[in-house]
Amino acid sequence: MAPDGAPRRLLGARRRPSGLLLVAACCAAALAALPQAAAACQAAEQAASNYRLSYVDEAVGPGKACFSLAVAADCSSDAPCCLKSEAKIKKLLLAPNSANPACISRDNLKQLRVTLNAAQTQSRPVKSDGQQLVSTGIKGALSSDALVCVDTSAVPGCNTIKKLCGDTCSFRLTARGPSRGSGKRATCCVNAAAGPPPPTPGKFNLVTINVGTNTSLDAYFEAARARWEKIMTVDLRDEPAYEWWPGYSMPVDDVTIFYQVAKIDGPLEILGMAGPDYVREDYWSTPVTGVMVFDIDDLDTLTPDQWLAVILHEMGHVLGIGSPYYWETRHQCISSCTPESNVTLPYTCANAAREFAALPGCGPTLLVETEAPEGSSCGHWQERLMQRELMTPYLSRSAKGMPISRVTIGGLEDIYGPGSVDYTQADIWNCNAPISAGDEASARLNEGKVILLEPLPRGAGSGGRHGQLDGLIEAARAKAAAKRSAP
């Protein structure tokens, strides 16, 4: 088991709060500038001068946010909304985004859940001054900091905190107690950021460690590592020493990849598998370590350019692109996906979708591959739409590298947060660039020399120690044997 406070394995792990980010309550004039804030506070109302709602880094998913509700030090008795520590909360109202009809539907808001220190409250939709608000059900005196969590994941059409609040969750707090020493009731605005602070800019360190005995691919790993390091511009939280891989105990700054060359399923079948293993316990849940394995039977079947493209591709999976955890669960970039379903599946996270729509000949909708077999469906850009781009599922036998587009770099920013990437590092690519004629086209169409790239399957990273990887290799071998013996 990982030590207390250390990252956990990717799937099946629970997160716990880390440090608090105190966000000062904003004044009424500032609230007026926010599109969602007007519903919470009227112009005559004031910002609470000593009550604070502060976003807590919970890493609980886009549908839930938690806040520390605390009473700060004494405030000035001259302040227009000075609620001292002995004041008792009469009600705490949350203002949903009035621009989204789904977020102000009374029936929908009945599905919103609020907890106070992990105990569910009697939250309910209410009307106040003609505005649709949510009564959080929180009242009484607070003897210490309280943890207030809002879960909107079950609210139809308003199932993320971003949809419910925008960038700022706006509350109206009514308390009775000393206000200017009068003891009368005061109603104040209290606001909190609806998400974490942006990632820390800085140098991104990517370490690759060969845990096998075959060193044939080491030079390509070094080149791929350097390429991704130039793209990433974020300094992730350092992790203390831990045995991330049997026999390998070390601190991690920022991501470490363990890789090996092993026998998988024979030549020209599954070329490699990769994915994140441990993730950080913070809002972004960024990878700490990852694993990559390549089939030894394919070492002599690819050119140097092809190997570099393949390792860049699989390293992209380790960094999170195409991982079910990030795409389906953590950030909900795609809906439920079934391999070989051949359905139209949009990718909806903002950055990659924006970059795709802006490229010549692309747009308006970025699609995810659903035609390919399991392992390549649901975790890559659609092959027909973005052919030859690095993070599509197929590699042409004669391809001389595969470009890293602004779309893929945007996909990383969707995982690591705003400002975490350098778009100037993208290769020149757009949807108007056709596949070249000649050898490459004939190899794709006539010879069947298309190699499947496969990310680590669902469920990898959970369960026991790193024997999980051996099980995946054995499963791939069995699948290939069954395919060869089928009539």
The predicted-structure confidence for 96-119, as pLDDT tens digits, reads as follows: 988 999 999 999 999 999 998 888
pLDDT > 70 fraction of the chain, expressed in percent and rounded: 73
Residues 137 and 247 occupy one common structural domain:
no
Of 112 and 174, which is predicted with more confidence? 112
The answer to whether residue 199 is domain-embedded is no
**CATH code, domain carrying 127:** 2.60.40
Residues sharing a CB contact under 8 Å with residue 319, sequence separation 6 or more, in sequence order = 228, 232, 255, 276, 287, 290, 412, 415
What is the DSSP pairing of strand 8-9 with strand 272-279? antiparallel
| Structural domain includes residue 11 | no
Regarding whether 399 and 462 lie in a shared domain, the answer is: yes
* Pair 104, 219 in one domain: no
Entry pTM:
0.71
- Residue pLDDT, tens place only, 351-369: 999 999 999 999 899 999 9
> Would you say residue 217 has pLDDT above 90?
yes
Contact 141, 178 (CB under 8 A): no
Within this chain, do residues 170 and 218 fall inside the same structural domain, yes or no?
no
Domain presence at residue 372: yes
* Cα–Cα dist 423/409, whole Å: 7
The confidence score (pLDDT) of residue 152 equals 92
- Of 193, 223, 256, the domain-final residue: 193
Q: 155 with 214, same domain? A: no
* CATH code where residue 373 lies: 3.90.132.10
- For the chain, how many structural domains are there in total? 2
Do 149 and 229 lie in one domain? The reply is no
Q: What is the DSSP letter of 393?
A: S
Is the pLDDT higher at 480 or at 384?
A: 384
Task: Specify which of 52-61, 216-225, 290-299, 472-481 reaches the highest per-range mean pLDDT.
Answer: 216-225
Same domain membership, residue 161 and residue 286: no
Confidence at 484, pLDDT banded by 50, 70, 90: low
Question: Is residue 464, in this structure, part of any structural domain at all?
Answer: yes
pLDDT at 244 exceeding the cut of 60 = yes
Q: Is pLDDT of 94 > 70?
A: yes
In this structure, the answer to whether residues 244 and 340 fall within a common structural domain is yes
DSSP for 151-207?
E-TTSTT--SHHHHHTTEEEEEEEEES-STTS--EEEEEEEEESSPPPPPBS---EE
Predicted confidence band of residue 487 (pLDDT cuts 50, 70, 90): low
Range of the domain at 269: 206-485
467 shares a domain with 337: yes
Among 193, 225, 253, give the residue marking a domain's end.
Answer: 193
Question: Using the 8-state DSSP alphabet, how is residue 327 labeled?
Answer: I
Q: Per the domain annotation, does 395 fall within a domain?
A: yes
Boundary residue ending a domain (142, 165, 193) = 193
- Say yes or no: 212 and 354 in one domain: yes
Residue 447 pLDDT greater than 90, yes or no: no
Task: Tell me: do 459 and 370 sit in the same domain.
Answer: yes
Give the dihedral sign, CA 179/184/185/187.
negative
The reply to whether 51 falls in a domain is: yes
Distance (Å, rounded) from C-alpha 240 to C-alpha 262?
Answer: 29
- In this structure, are 328 and 245 located in the same domain? yes
CA atoms within 13 A on the CB side of 358: 10
pLDDT at 340 over 60: yes
Residue 73's pLDDT band, with cuts at 50, 70 and 90, is low
